[in-house]
Structure formats: structure tokens, C-alpha cells
Amino acid sequence: MENIKTEKTNELTPSEQKICDMLLGGNTPKEIAFSLNIAYNTVKTHQKNIYRKLGVNNFHGLLVKFKTDGDTSVREPSVKNKNPRLIIKILISAAALAVIITVSVLLLFQWKEKNTVNVRTWYAISDENSTIRVSRTNEKIDGKTRDCVTISGVLYDDKNCVMTPLGYDGWGAPFAGAYGTPDDTTLQNLRTMKSFSMKVMGDGNEYFFRLPTMETIEGDHWLYVFPTVKDEIITVSAAVLDDFNRLGWSGNDVEFIQNNIMFFQIQAVNPGPYKLKFWDIKLHR
């Protein structure tokens, strides 16, 4: 992908041109910000302007546009130049590789707990209106030892407080919760999931979980809201195509958004106080 370049155009500023080429070269917005020593939000603003000026809605559209209209080296050779024997060898190799991959995947998912979301560290999410703590303990629940994450704390000023699932987008609503980044293997599994579940011991508040993605200019992510009852254990589950609502401006399809999932987050919708416990986060296909 590093060979793909945009043609120089007066529509883009020099900074936008450089960022555009880096995006097409496979760099993420965070990597670009680090490389150019500029703020991440600055990269996001440039990225949005690039999409608008070049007439595309997202990175996928940018890639398709310049893969088709730009560097011809990424195109497949014409039919008349193809060697039939070479094609047969490629097809045989591809079939053999497919068998190896299939067997590997089957063995992978026979491994115990492979579909569990493994998050090494959970971090508290709070603002000046709240004091939130996140702890991780092994607890006996239903006769079994569980690796539990607990979100606890209070919201100081809950007078006239209106919290919504959209509060994190900077609309002024207080927020409280926790987030964690899964390990690399889990992250790859997370991006191919068909459904999701976890066990929750409630505190009477309403929460949502979301899966923020790398494409964050206007808050692209998956969002799912769930209510809880104090001290009652429930299973929260959602099918991607049925229960998740996608928020964002770019119009990406399900596959593209899932390919860019970065981390896992749970956030409160009510003012609190909070004592939510959750465990056994799993992915299903």
C-alpha cells in the first residue's frame, strides 16, 4: 500500500498532502501525529478536510479512489499477460494455504477461553464532576472464582444533571466509567465478531458499552445501552447487525468499522452512585 500516492493538487495544502500520502502509506492518525510531532486532533481535522476536498467519505473511499485512479502498480495485470501455468500454481498454493488457515483457526478456537476478551488493565473515566475508581479482583460468584472488574464512585454535582450516551462527544454531559485495550490477539478476534456477551452484577443504574474505532473524526463506534437492577446478575448480549447502533458521519459499512476497533469502554448513563461489577466478556461468531 505504500506505493499508492495522491496526485498533487491545488485542493490540498502541503500539510494535508503529506498527511494524505501517509494515510495511504498505511499510517494511522496516531502514528502520523507522533511522526509529525503535531496534536492528534490536528491530524483528525486535516483528515476530515482531505476527505471533503477529495470527494470521499472515509479512508476506504480514499483508498478505492487512488487505487483505481492513481498508482497503476497495484492493479492486476491484464488477462493477455497472464501465464495459465502460473495461475494454476497460484490457485493450488492458495487452496493449500486456505486449508492450513482453516485448520489453524479451528485449533485456535478449540483452545479454552480463546473467545474471552482479555484486557490487561482497566482505566477509570471521569471528569471534574465525578470520582471514579476501577478495581479488578477474583471473587466467588455462583460457586466459581471470577475475574471481576468493578466500577465504583460518585458524581459530585448531580443537580440538573443530564447524562446521555452521547455525553462523551463533548456535549457537556458529565461522564463516568472505565475503558481498556484488549491484547493484540483479542483485538483481532474482536474485529471479526458476530455477537458479544458479558455477565453483569447491577447497581440500579443504566450503562452503555461502546467499541471506539480508529476512524474517530466524528465519533465512529458501536454503542449499546443496557439497564441494571441492584445486586441482580444479568447477561448482557448483543448481535452486531441487530442490536448495535453505529454513530458517525462517514457511512462506512459494518466490515470497515469493525476492522478499526481500538478498545472497549463502559460508561454510565445515570448520575450514580456507582458500583457495577462485570466479568466473563466473550465474543461469539
What CATH number is attached to the domain comprising 24?
A: 1.10.10.10
> Shortest CA distance to 198 belongs to which of 182, 212, 214, 209?
209
Mean pLDDT by 10 residues, the chain (285 residues): 47 85 80 81 84 82 64 34 52 55 45 62 80 89 89 72 50 67 69 77 87 54 81 84 48 51 79 88 75
pLDDT for the residue numbered 159: 55
pTM tops 0.85: no
Is 4 among the domain residues? no
Q: Say if residue 133 is in the same domain as residue 257.
A: yes
Residues linked to residue 221 through DSSP beta bridges, in sequence order: 212, 247
CA atoms of 43 and 79, how far apart (whole Å):
41
Shared domain check, 206 and 152: yes
Residues 87 and 194 in one domain: no
**Residue 200, pLDDT score:** 93
Q: Give pLDDT, residue 260.
A: 61
Residues 127 and 197 in one domain: yes
Q: Is residue 276 part of a domain?
A: yes
Shared domain for 166 and 276, answered yes or no, is yes
Looking at the structure, tell me whether residues 177 and 235 fall in a common domain. yes
The count of other CB atoms within 10 Å of the CB of residue 270 is 18
Which pLDDT score is estimated for 207?
A: 87
Q: Do 68 and 93 share a domain, yes or no?
A: no
Number of H helices, E strands in the chain: 8, 11
Residue 162 lies in a domain: yes
- One domain for residues 220 and 161: yes
Instruction: Look up the domain containing 65 and give its range.
Output: 14-74
Whether 222 and 240 have beta carbons less than 8 Å apart is answered as yes
Q: Verify that 97 and 161 share a domain, yes or no.
A: no
Asked if the structure places residue 221 within a domain, the reply is yes
CATH of the domain at 223: 2.60.120.430
* Tally of domains within the chain: 3
Burial of 249 (0-12, 13-18, 19+ CB in 10 A): middle
On whether residue 9 sits in a domain, the answer given is no
Q: Which of 58, 89, 110 represents a domain boundary (last residue)? A: 110
From residue 277, give the alpha-carbon distance in Å to each of 8, 151, 161, 166, 282.
54, 6, 24, 23, 15
**Structural domain includes residue 153:** yes
141 and 250 part of one domain: yes
136 and 276 both lie in a single domain: yes
Residue 124 belongs to some domain of the structure: yes
Q: Do the domain assignments include residue 1?
A: no
Query: For position 59, what pLDDT does the model report?
Result: 76
Whether residues 136 and 58 share a domain: the answer is no
